Chains A and B, each alone.
Chain A
Amino acid sequence: MLVKAVILVGGPEKGTRFRPLSLDTPKPLFPVGGVPMIQHHIEACCKIPELKEILLVGYFQPNEHWAQFVTTQAKLNNVVIRYLQEFAALGTAGCIYHFRDQILNGSPESIVLMNGDVCADFQLDAMLAFHRQQDRPVLTLMGTEAVHSQSVHFGCIVENKLTHQVKHYVEKPESYVSSLINCGVYILSPEIFNIIATTIKAKTMDDLSEDFSTLSNSSSRRVSRQRSLSGASVSETLSLENDLITRLAVTGGAYVYYTQGWWSQIKTAGAAIYANRHCLKLYHNAHPSWLAQSEKGKAGPQIIGDVFIHESAKIHPSAVIGPNVSILSHVEIGAGTRIRDSIILNDVVIDENCCILNSILGWGSRIGSWSRIEGTPNDPNPDKAFAKLEHMPLFSDSGFLNPSVTILGAKVNVPSELMVLNSIVLPNKDLSHSYKNQIIL
C-alpha cells in the first residue's frame, strides 16, 4: 500500500494579506515555530509509514531558496519531494486533476491533500485510519468546532452524527449552517479523479449551455468554446470545496474526521504570532530539543515559556526572551533587551535595552538601543471554547488602522529610542521618528 501527499502552496498572488512579509519570501516558507510553515506539513506527512512521495503544488516561480528547501527536506525525511508548478491558478480540485498522472503514478491507495496556509496538530495517521474504516470512501475531510458567529467564515459541514457522512456542505455561508468547519486537510481515494472528471464534464456542459443562452453573437460563442476545450479552461478552475464536496454530500462518499487538536489558518501576519505560540507548544512532544532553556549556572539569556532560538543567534545573557518567541538564524540581541510574543527573522540586529512585544521583525532589520517595537495581539477570544482568530480588516469603519501586530518588512532601520506601535513598515525603510497606528510605505 502506498500513500502520497499533495500540499497546496499557492502562488505570488496569494498571501497578499501576509504582506509586507510575503514580498520577500513565499508565504509557505515563512517560519512558524522557527521553521518554514510547510515544514510542519511535511513532517506530519512523514509520520505516515506508507508515505512514498510529497508533491508540492503551486504557481511560484521556484527560486534558489525554494529549491534548497525542497532538497533539504527530502534528504532530512528520506522521502521524495517534488514541486509541481501550475502555469495558472487552477483551483484546489483543478490543480490536482491537472497533475493527476503524477499523483496517480505508482497507484497510491490514498492521497493526503493539505492546504499550505493552515497550521495544526495534524494527526494524519489517525485520520487515514478513519478514512479506511469508512464504506467506499472518496474523500475524508478534517473538521473542527468553531463558535457559532465565526463559523460562517469557513466551510461549514453538516454530518450524519452516527456515520460521519457529510450530508450538506456550504463554503462561507451567509447565515449560520453548522459550527463544524472544514480544516482544509483531506484524505482522498483515487476514485476522486473520476468524480472530478465527471464534474468537469458537467460543468463544461453548463458553461456551454450558459454561453448559448446568453450569447447570440456566434463569434464570441466560438471563442468561448475554444477556451473551454483548450487545456486549462475556465471549467478546469475547479474548487474542491465548492464543486466537489457539495456534490459528494448528495451522492455520498464524503466523510468528516473530527479533530480536537489545535488548528488555525495563517492568513495574516498576526496569525503567524498566534500560530507560533501553538507550534512551540507542540514541540514539547514533537521536538523538545528545539525549545530553548535557561541554563542553570550558565550565563545565558533568561527564557520564559516556549521559545525557539536558532543555534546561530547571539543573545546577550542579560536579555529576557519569551514566552512565544522565535528567533531565527544569525540574529544578534544586545544587553537588557526584552522580547515577548514575537518572531525575529534572520539577520536582525537588536541593540541594548530594547523592548519588542507582539511584533514581527523582518529579515536584516536593525533596532537601535532603547527602541520599543510593540503591536496589539488579536488572539482568539479566550473566554470562548473553539474560538478562532478574528481576521479583522486593516482599517476600521471610521477609517483608522485597526490595532494589530507590528510588522517591520525586510531591512528596516529603527534608530535609538524610537517607538513603533501598531504599525506596518514596508521593506527597506529608514525611520527617523516614532510611528503609531500607521502604515509606512
Chain B
Amino acid sequence: MKALILVGGYGTRLRPLTLSRPKPLVEFCNKPMLYHQILALHEAGVTHIILAVSYRAEMMEKELTDLASKLGVKMTYSLEEEPLGTAGPLALARDYLEGTEPFFVLNSDVICDFPFKDMIAFHTNHGAEGTLVVTTVAEPSKYGVVLYNEIGRIDSFVEKPQEFVSNKINAGLYMLSPSVLKRIPLRPTSIEKDVFPGMADQKQLYAMELKGYWMDIGQPRDYLTGMCLYLTSLHRRQSGELSTGSQFVGSVLVHETAQIGQNCRIGPNVVIGPNVIVEDGVRVQRTTLLGGSKVRAYSMLNDCIIGWNCDIGRWVRMENVCVLGEDVLVKDELYINGGFILPHKEIKVSVLEPQIIM
C-alpha cells in the first residue's frame, strides 16, 4: 500500500525552530514529526511513502533514509517546482499512485492516534472513492466543518461557519481510490475546496470519526497542546515510555541519555530530549526540551519549547509560550515572558513582554 504525505514548504509557522531544521524533522515527543506518521503507516502495511515537498531538503532525505531502510519502506520525494496547493501534489505524483489499490493522503502537521487500519476497513466497506477522517473540536468556527449523514456519507462542507452547524472538522487524513486522481489537474488546486465538494455531490466521499485526540501542531502554541495530548494518550495506554519517580509529576517523557539533577520537579507534560542536562532544583512544566539543551540549577520553565543545544542559566524564569531556536544562551537570573528567540542569540536582559528577538 502507498501513502502520500503533504510536507509542503518551509514551515514558517514553526519558526524559529524551522530555521535550523525542516519542519518534518523537528522532534515532537522525542521523534521527528514525520517519524510518527511513517511508523504508523508502516504498521498499517504501507510499503511506499511519497513525500510531497516544495523545497529540496537534503537533510531530510539523509535523515529519513536510515529509518526507511530499517522499516523496509520505500521513500520517494516528489518535488514541486511551484506551490501546487493541497491537491496538486497528487497530480504530480500520479505515476506513483496509479493502480488498483487505494492510498493514504495526510497533512504532515497532524498528530493523533493514527487510525490507518480502521480507515482501510471503513473505505472497503463503503466502496466509494474517498474516506475523510473527521475530528471533534470545541471551536468549529475556525475550521471547515463537515456535514454528513448517519452512515457517514458527506453532504457538504461549510468553511468557517458563523452559526453552529456541527463540531466535526476535516482532520487532514484521507484514503482515496486511484480514480480520484482523474479529478485533479496538474496546477495549484485545493483538495478541500476544489476536489472534495465535487466528490460529496456525487456521493463519493465518506466521513470516518476519529477516536481520541487530534492536533495540528504546525505552530508553537498548538505544538505544546499536541504534546500534552500525546503524553496523556501515552499515559492512558499505560506506556512504559513515561518516566516515574518522586521528582516527576504527571506524564513526563525523558530520553534515556538525558541527565536530571537532584530536587527537581518535572511535569506535568514535559518532554526531555537526548543528551539534555537538567541541573538541581529545576522546575519544568508543559515544556519540550530538544536535544543537547541544558537547564542550569534553580530555573523554572513553563510553556516553552527549548531548541537544540540551548543553555539556560541559573534562576531563569521562562513562561507564556517561549520558543528558543537552536543554540540560544540565556544568562542567569533573567525572566523571559513569551519570547521567540532566533538561533545563536545570547540573551543578557529580561524579556518582559512577548516579543520576537531577532
Which residues of A line the B interface, CB within 8 A? 318, 335-338, 340, 352-353, 355, 357, 369-370, 372, 374, 417, 419, 421, 436
Contacts and interface: CB of A to CB of B under 8 A. Distances in A.
A370 B263 contact: no
B283 A370 contact: yes
Contacts of B300: 353, 370, 372, 417
Given A353-B281, A417-B283, A419-B335, A372 B314 contact: no
B145 to A, nearest CB: 36
A340 B333 contact: yes
B91 to A, nearest CB: 53
Contacts of A338: 298, 314-315, 333
Contact of A372 (B263, B265, B317, B352): B317
Contacts of A436: 352
A355 B281 contact: no
Contacts of B335: 372, 374, 419, 421
Contact of B317 (A337, A340, A369, A419): A419
B48 to A, nearest CB: 49
A248 to B, nearest CB: 50
B297 A355 contact: no
B280 interface: yes
Interface string B290-322: 000000011010100000000000110101000
Nearest to A372: B317
Contact of B263 (A352, A357, A374, A419): A352
Interface string B329-358: 000010100000000000000001000000
A280 B317 CA distance: 29
Interface residues of B, number: 17
B321 to A, nearest CB: 15
A179 to B, nearest CB: 32
A357 B349 CA distance: 14
Given A318-B281, A336-B263, 16 more contacts: A318-B280, A338-B315, A338-B333, A340-B333, A352-B263, A352-B281, A353-B283, A353-B298, A355-B317, A370-B265, A370-B283, A372-B315, A372-B317, A417-B283, A419-B335, A436-B352
B65 to A, nearest CB: 44
B333 A336 contact: no
Interface of B: 263, 265, 280-283, 297-298, 300, 302, 314-315, 317, 319, 333, 335, 352
A336 B317 contact: no
A372 B300 CA distance: 10
Nearest to B281: A336
Contact of A336 (B280, B302, B319, B352): B280
A398 B265 CA distance: 41
Given A335-B263, A340-B333, A419-B317, A355 B298 contact: yes
Given A336-B297, A336-B298, A370-B283, A357 B333 contact: yes
Nearest to A340: B333
Given A335-B281, A336-B298, A372-B300, A355 B315 contact: yes
Nearest to A437: B352
Contacts of B265: 370
A62 B304 CA distance: 54
A159 to B, nearest CB: 43
A417 B268 CA distance: 14
A314 B8 CA distance: 59
A228 B71 CA distance: 103
A340 B315 CA distance: 12
A60 to B, nearest CB: 39
B283 A355 contact: no
Contacts of A355: 298, 315, 317, 333
| A335, A336, A372, most chain B CB atoms within 10 A | A336
A372 B263 CA distance: 18
Nearest to B282: A353
B355 to A, nearest CB: 15
Nearest to B319: A419
A415 to B, nearest CB: 13
Nearest to A352: B281
Nearest to B350: A374
A404 to B, nearest CB: 14
A76 B79 CA distance: 87
